[in-house]
Amino acid sequence: MKLHSHELNAFCINALSQAELPAEDAQAAADVLVTTDMWGIFTHGTKNLRGYIRRIRSGGIRKDARPKIVGEGPAWAIVDADSAIGPVGSCFAMREAIRRARSAGLAYVGVRNSCHFGAAGYYAAMAAREGMIGLAMANDTPTMTVPGARGAVLGNNPIAFAVPTGEAHPILLDIALSSVAGGKVFAAATRGDVIPNNWLVDSEGLPTTDPRLFPHSGALTPMAGHKGYGLALLVETLSAILTGASIASQVLSWSFADASLPTGHGAAFIAVDINAIMPAVTFKQRVRQTIQEIRAAPNAKGADRIYLPGEMEWNRYERALAEGLELPDDVVAELRTLANELSLDWKWSKPH
Amino acid sequence: MKLHSHELNAFCINALSQAELPAEDAQAAADVLVTTDMWGIFTHGTKNLRGYIRRIRSGGIRKDARPKIVGEGPAWAIVDADSAIGPVGSCFAMREAIRRARSAGLAYVGVRNSCHFGAAGYYAAMAAREGMIGLAMANDTPTMTVPGARGAVLGNNPIAFAVPTGEAHPILLDIALSSVAGGKVFAAATRGDVIPNNWLVDSEGLPTTDPRLFPHSGALTPMAGHKGYGLALLVETLSAILTGASIASQVLSWSFADASLPTGHGAAFIAVDINAIMPAVTFKQRVRQTIQEIRAAPNAKGADRIYLPGEMEWNRYERALAEGLELPDDVVAELRTLANELSLDWKWSKPH
């Protein structure tokens, strides 16, 4: 189904308001989810709205949450997100990182008592809009094994960064530290496909091509083996060990666990104020030089161009703005069910 | 050949002193190289001493270099390494990051005009010894392709982190962002082996199993495809774009390029003072809880235990201390050649 992204945004705000989220919080969450869909990352966009609202209604996400700073220094802060919906505590924390970076040059803000924050890249891009390098990361309930283990040991802890380029959009990487995101495994299971044998291990810790084992008797593999395992532990350290958030198996699944319980996610946000360190114009010239060199590299046989991290996502974003946002059927089905559950209008004008 | 690590250390200092490096700088470089060998990372240890000394003698590495701070704020600094041997500018920068983190909570120190710094993990571990989380990273001359390209586009930019545990040694991850390090490809070529088809691309950008193509007509693949590519660009940003160092193809190979020229490497070091953010005792308790949970995970079929990042390296380090350091033949050959070139004593007592 193709629709106007601003109508989808209004639908999300409407739904969240029905669940009694304050207007400002509903707007923040809607913007995160719709932007993510516009990037084409449908596993992390409005598809999850229904699940978030279930948690709000059951109390696991607090609709009246007030994220607050519980520890601070000139270049850092720890935020207690008060079990707010993920985007609310995360936007609060990244704004705080940006504010502190403006005076200190860079800043780290860690978050505890958060929930699933959606696409990490959204928060990294917030910093880039302010002329800063942004990083965002979070821990999650274990779905990923580690070398030598058979079951899930760590979350596939996402990490994202954004770098301003002087062009319309920043360089933007947003990745899970598993070989592939869990959503891709679910999608293969739904389609009845087999998967490559390096995505998942079975209940004995051995490679499997059966996506149906996930998550109950299979675990995602870390990207690049011990490298993804190690980086996931770094994300766990900065997001959870150092912030007071729940760690590893203490973190509840935002989608599967009892919706009346807070999930306890942790997150971390870093902003580096380029202009404090190097004149912004020099930095942008140097970024452009780097981009030009990458783009000018001879293409591999069969490839027609080289993309920058995030470039495909920004292309989709621009297309969604210009031509309307084409939502996949599984997303539409969730939104339609939610509309029924909340007795929301299901009317969309047709983009042309 | 098995020897005492302290004798290898003295040999390195002796060799570097012959090349007229000041005593303090020779000691710093020797400690980096010998520690790396003790971790079993022989591609980045004393095997490279002869190449470094060739660059010192030809002027590409300045024996009288004086690294200095050329820009600073409370939580950051930019260091011009003055084309010092890599470990000298890098230790200077990490010490500076630690010092600033002690007052600001965390600090970033970027470096330009550096050279190949050896094993990134050494510098990350410096921070951990001070009770801090440490990160170290650097750019390098391009040896790695990116999705869609056929040749080398970026360095396989190493990144390392260390986290104090309250035990004898920190968690320590030190990785290149290529699927495998170039040294493993060289080793396969020397042995006459074929390599897995996901390590290298040929001159058309297609997978190859022939290690002999590297580096002249083959390029390393990024780990996990676009994920390794993106992370390498993050390292390039923090190490080079933001520091004024040479970028991508501007960086010269420390081993292949004209030894009279500075290589222009960049690097970045980050220290996070745990005790500023959370009582160190609480942090260590939380790290231990995480470690225990990882270690207690059921083993995969055929695996007998789960290692923490760096644990194998620290085990080798302890064994080298207790029983002597077993150097592989290729390292011994380089050291022996160097001893001949510099007319150094080649006498080693036998560890028992």
The three-state secondary structure class of B271 is strand
Give pLDDT, residue B54: 98
On whether residue A209 sits in a domain, the answer given is yes
Q: How far is the C-alpha of A224 from the C-alpha of B229, rounded, in Å?
A: 13
Q: Are B95 and B127 in contact (CB under 8 A)?
A: no
Summarised one tens digit per residue, pLDDT across range A140-156 is 999 999 999 999 999 99
Give pLDDT, residue B91: 98
Q: What whole-number percentage of chain A has pLDDT above 70?
A: 100
| Closest in A108, A272, A301 to B204, CB measured | A301
Q: Are B344 and B10 in contact (CB under 8 A)?
A: no
Give pLDDT, residue A215: 92
On whether residue A192 sits in a domain, the answer given is yes
pLDDT at A171 over 80: yes
Half-sphere exposure of B219 (CA within 13 A, CB side): 29
Give pLDDT, residue B338: 98
Give pLDDT, residue A183: 85
Output the CA angle B271-B275-B281, nearest 5 degrees.
125
- The alpha carbon of residue A31 is apart from the nearest alpha carbon of chain B, in Å, by 25
Interchain proximity B276–A223, CB inside 8 Å: no
- The mean pLDDT of chain A is 97
pLDDT at A352 over 90: no
| Closest in A148, A297, A304 to B299, CB measured | A148
pLDDT at B101 over 90: yes
CB pairs under 8 A between A and B: 244
Summarised one tens digit per residue, pLDDT across range A182-208 is 988 998 999 999 999 999 999 999 999
Is the preceding peptide bond at B279 cis, omega within 30 degrees of 0? no
Which CATH number covers residue B191? 3.30.60.50
Average pLDDT over residues B311-318: 98
Interchain proximity B133–A297, CB inside 8 Å: no
On whether residue A111 sits in a domain, the answer given is no
Interchain proximity B237–A133, CB inside 8 Å: yes
Full residue range of the structural domain in which residue B184 is found: 179-221
pLDDT at A219 over 80: yes
Confidence of residue B183 (pLDDT cuts 50, 70, 90): confident
Partners of residue B299 in chain A, C-beta under 8 Å: 148-150, 205
Instruction: Please count the structural domains in chain B.
Output: 1
Task: List Cα–Cα distances, B77 to A271, B234, B284, in angstroms.
Answer: 15, 18, 29
Residues contacting residue B62 through CB under 8 Å, at least 6 positions apart: B56, B82, B83, B84, B262
Reading the block at residue A325, the tokens are 């946002």
Give pLDDT, residue B17: 98
On whether residue B244 sits in a domain, the answer given is no
Give pLDDT, residue A187: 86
On whether residue B151 sits in a domain, the answer given is no
Q: Are B349 and B4 in contact (CB under 8 A)?
A: yes
On whether residue B115 sits in a domain, the answer given is no
Interchain proximity A278–B151, CB inside 8 Å: no
Q: Is ipTM beyond 0.95? A: yes
Give pLDDT, residue B9: 98
Average pLDDT over residues A228-247: 98
Active site residue ranges of A: 116
Please tell me which residue of chain A has the smallest CA distance to B234.
A161
Summarised one tens digit per residue, pLDDT across range A2-51 is 999 999 999 999 999 999 999 999 999 999 999 999 999 999 999 999 99
On whether residue A36 sits in a domain, the answer given is no
Summarised one tens digit per residue, pLDDT across range B238-296 is 999 999 999 999 999 999 999 999 999 999 999 999 999 999 999 999 999 999 999 99
On whether residue A166 sits in a domain, the answer given is no
Q: Mutation test of the interface with chain A: which of B41, B72, B227, choosing the one with the most A Cβ atoms within 10 A?
A: B227
Interchain proximity B234–A290, CB inside 8 Å: no
Please tell me which residue of chain B has the smallest CA distance to A312.
B226
